Amino acid sequence: MTTVFDSRSDRIVRLLREPAEHRGADWLKDALQQAVMLELSTLPPYLCGLWSIEDPVGDERVAGAIRRIVFDEMSHLGLAGNLLTTVGGTPRLGDARVAPSYPCPLPGGVRPELTVYLSGLTKESLDLYARIEEPDQPLARAAHTSIGAFYTAVLEAFREHPDLITGGHQLTRPMTHHGQGNSVVPLTSLADVEAAIGVIKEQGEGTSASPENPHPEESGELAHFYVFREVFHGRALVRTAENPDRWEFTGAEIPMPRAFPMGVVPAGGWAGDLAPDPATQEELDAVDHAYSRMLRLLEKAWQADTPALAKNLLGQAVRQMGFLEEPARALMQRPLPDGSGRTYGPQFLYRDGA
């Protein structure tokens, strides 16, 4: 089985059609590369929504919730990479075929009805974020096949082949200050793998019994799907009945934050009639270059021969991540030349050698 390094393929759908007896080492390596790509694909849209909030301190209720989700997704990317390396695979990130080019489908053919795009925080983008995270059987809405179903299949394959877990080339980064379960930890046993996949699934979807995140930064924190739905509805999700539990968006009001009117990034980035002036292009390049370097550093970190080198490369990657926000927010205050009242925003284009 050949791993497919193409974020626009329907590889996950095809992998899930494979019978259980064919889901061995090669299947897991292929599936977990898709998991890495899937986790990466959620970060740029969520970051654009977060950074577009004009006053993140004054609107901490929403900004803080989205910021926590971003940290969760960063942890999920780290855990997905460790899941891949523990079975002898190597995460591919520094590649234009792997890094999503927005607007685009979710990698692997998951939720093919969705087109993921980059824009500021709006009701429409919140609906998109929630649909990305939507569980199979949400407690507040009907749904269908989810990212969680894919991870369930991965976990079943691990349980059938626990001997494949080597604990090799694992990254470690303590993140307990961002909540329970957020640390990137070595996965050296089936119990470790089960815990990691549990964190990824439950932080995004909640559990079958509750919409609450069982690995929270703050008490009572909801899973990602329900956080995005709260902001979309403008009301807190509250339990309105017990035995059986019923949850509804009828709680305290959650005002929509004021946000910079970042336009939807067109295919291929800002070009043609929306081509930027030199100063704006400089800000776009700053984001693209830092993002691209971050991906290459992460890839190298998982290839490192020693824990010390891996830690150093991971630290460099995290620093590159920190270089993204300032130019991104500056772009969101530069008007597009089409008179629409919309602004530029980061395009998150992968640049070879940038």
Q: Which amino acid is at 290?
A: A
Closest CA to 42 of 208, 179, 224: 224
| Cis, peptide link before residue 244, omega less than 30° from 0 | yes
Res 284: pLDDT: 97
What is the pLDDT averaged over residues 232-237?
94
Confidence of residue 134 (pLDDT cuts 50, 70, 90): confident
| Residues 120/262, Cβ–Cβ less than 8 Å | yes
**Residue 233 pLDDT class (50, 70, 90 cuts):** very high
Residue 176 — pLDDT band, cuts 50, 70, 90?
confident
- Distance linking the first and last C-alpha atoms of the chain: 32
* Residue among 53, 241, 235, 247 at smallest CA distance from 135: 247
- Res 63: pLDDT: 95
Q: What is the pLDDT of residue 302?
A: 97
Q: Which two tokens stand for residue 214?
A: 């069982």
The pLDDT of residue 220 is 75
Radius of gyration of the chain (CA): 20
Phi, psi (deg, nearest 5) at residue 215: -130, 65
- Helix spans in the chain (H): 11-16, 25-51, 60-86, 123-133, 147-160, 190-205, 224-233, 278-303, 307-322, 325-331
Tokens standing for residue 288: 């693209």
Instruction: Report the length, in residues, of the chain.
Output: 354
Asked if 58 and 32 count as a contact pair (C-beta separation under 8 A), the reply is no
Top-confidence residue, 134 or 80: 80
Mean pLDDT of the chain: 90
The whole-angstrom separation of Cα 36 and Cα 327 is: 26
Q: CA 217, CA 178: separation in Å to the nearest integer?
A: 5
Query: How do residues 149-174 score in pLDDT, each as one tens digit?
Result: 889 999 999 999 999 999 999 999 98
List the single range of 57-71, 146-160, 197-211, 257-271 with lowest mean pLDDT: 197-211
Instruction: Give yes or no for residue 204 having a pLDDT over 70.
Output: no
Segment 9-22 mean pLDDT = 91
CATH number for the domain formed by residue range(s) 11-269: 1.20.1260.10
Q: How far apart are CA 233 and CA 126, in angstroms?
A: 10
Domain regions of the chain by residue span: 11-269
Are the CB atoms for 253 and 234 separated by under 8 Å? yes
Instruction: Name the pLDDT band for 139 (thresholds 50, 70, 90).
Output: very low
What DSSP character marks residue 94?
S
Q: Name the least confident of 113-117, 148-152, 255-259, 338-342.
A: 148-152
pLDDT at 333: 97
Return the percentage of the chain with pLDDT > 90, whole number.
Answer: 73
Question: What pTM was estimated for this model as a whole?
Answer: 0.92
Residues 6+ apart with CB under 8 A from 321: 74, 290, 294
DSSP 8-state secondary structure symbol assigned to residue 349:
-
Residues 126 and 69: beta-carbon distance below 8 Å: no
* Structure-model confidence comparison of residues 125 and 204, the more confident one: 125
Decide if 289 contacts 340 (C-beta within 8 A): no
